[in-house]
Amino acid sequence: MKVTVIGRSPAWQDADGACSGYLVETDTTRVLVDCGNGVFGKLRGRIDHRELDAVVISHPHGDHILDLIPFAYALLYGPQKAGDRVRLHLPPGGAGVLRTICGAFDSPTLMDDAFDVDHYDPESGIQVGDINFTMTEVPHFIPAYAMAISSDGCGRFVYGADCGVSDSLVDLAKGADILMVEATLPVNHEGPDGVESGHLTPVQAGLMARDAGAGRLVLTHASDCLDLEGSRLAAAEVFGGAVDVAREGLSWDL
Ligand SMILES: [Zn+2]
Ligand SMILES: [Zn+2]
């Protein structure tokens, strides 16, 4: 199983960057996790978007869903391809959010027209081809779902979505080969932290990776406006293991 960063920015893109989007591939299955602004063009630079099996969304904030709009238009009006439609697995209530957004420009059924849409049950998770997703809710401003992603014979990759400090994420990430978790806040962040902030500092991310016993920590959802090497060093100091900062094109084989 291979995981590739398509975009890693928080609510606004880095210069020439993209918001949240991660491509998960095995020999037989391709899934895009989150589809924030800027992701669709970056994805097309790597694969034929029509060959994705599914898109899985962690939570319906703009930086995780907005490029579903150009993706949908490409599926409807771009060159067609015979075969299965791309599935869109949304968190509970996600379809309503997208119908409201698309309804504002008079296309409320855009997602339903372009994708095979369903809501996943976070309790039971989902299976796409040979890739399994196990979800847990994490503290954020709206319901958001972290996911453990695995495939038979491969390692375990855990994506924390957007979250504040979370015991449920630590539990999900126990023994993960890679924990990718957000580090939206700067090292010297002052103000609400923990659950109230809805986001993590690099130190909080490192402590969660340490508590989970993760093999490797990847910091993501961090802007190029931050000192990202400083973030990496701060997380590594408390984690005690290898830390990467996600950037476009970076990938890991599990
Ligand atoms: Zn976000
Ligand atoms: Zn969010």
Answer yes or no: are the C-beta atoms of 219 and 211 closer than 8 Å.
no
Answer yes or no: are the C-beta atoms of 31 and 24 closer than 8 Å.
yes
Please write the tens of the pLDDT for every residue from 3-26: 999 999 999 999 999 999 999 999
Please write the tens of the pLDDT for every residue from 189-247: 877 665 567 999 999 999 999 999 999 999 999 999 999 999 999 999 999 999 999 99
Amino acid 82: pLDDT: 76
Number of domains in the chain: 1
Q: Which ligand is nearest to the CA of 138?
A: 2
Report the pLDDT averaged over residues 36-42.
98
Amino acid 80: pLDDT: 84
Single pTM value for the model: 0.97
Q: Which ligand is nearest to the CA of 59?
A: 2
CA of 59 to the centre of ligand 1 (A): 8
What are the CA-CA distances from residue 200 to residues 47, 166, 204 (Å)? 32, 10, 6
Please write the tens of the pLDDT for every residue from 159-192: 999 999 999 999 999 999 999 999 999 998 877 6
Please write the tens of the pLDDT for every residue from 89-99: 999 999 999 99
CA of 36 to the centre of ligand 2 (A): 10
Q: SS in 3 state form for the chain?
A: CEEEEEECECCCCCCCCCECEEEEECCCCEEEECCCCCHHHHHHCCCCHHHCCEEECCCCCHHHHCCHHHHHHHHHHCCCCCCCCCEEEECCCHHHHHHHHHHCCCCCCHHHHHCEEEECCCCCCEEECCEEEEEEEECCCCCEEEEEEECCCCCEEEECCCCCCCHHHHHHCCCCCEEEEECCCCCCCCCCCHHHHCCCCHHHHHHHHHHHCCCCEEEECCCCCCCHHHHHHHHHHHHCCCEEECCCCCEEEC
CA of 11 to the centre of ligand 1 (A): 6
Amino acid 190: pLDDT: 79
* Cα separation, 43 vs 75, whole angstroms: 14
Q: Which ligand is nearest to the CA of 142?
A: 2
CA of 209 to the centre of ligand 1 (A): 19
* Cα separation, 4 vs 246, whole angstroms: 9
Please write the tens of the pLDDT for every residue from 107-124: 999 999 999 999 999 999
Q: Which ligand is nearest to the CA of 21?
A: 1
What are φ and ψ of residue 126, in 5° steps? -140, 160
CATH number of the domain where residue 176 is located: 3.60.15.10
CA of 222 to the centre of ligand 1 (A): 9
CA of 138 to the centre of ligand 2 (A): 11
CA of 96 to the centre of ligand 2 (A): 17
Q: Which ligand is nearest to the CA of 163?
A: 2
Answer yes or no: are the C-beta atoms of 142 and 61 closer than 8 Å.
yes
Which tokens is 195 given?
A: 């659950």
What is the band of 252 on the pLDDT scale with cuts at 50, 70, 90? Answer: very high
Please write the tens of the pLDDT for every residue from 42-88: 999 999 999 999 999 999 999 999 999 999 999 999 998 877 899 99
* Cα separation, 186 vs 166, whole angstroms: 18
CA of 53 to the centre of ligand 1 (A): 23
Q: Which ligand is nearest to the CA of 61?
A: 2
- Look up the domain containing 112 and give its range: 2-253
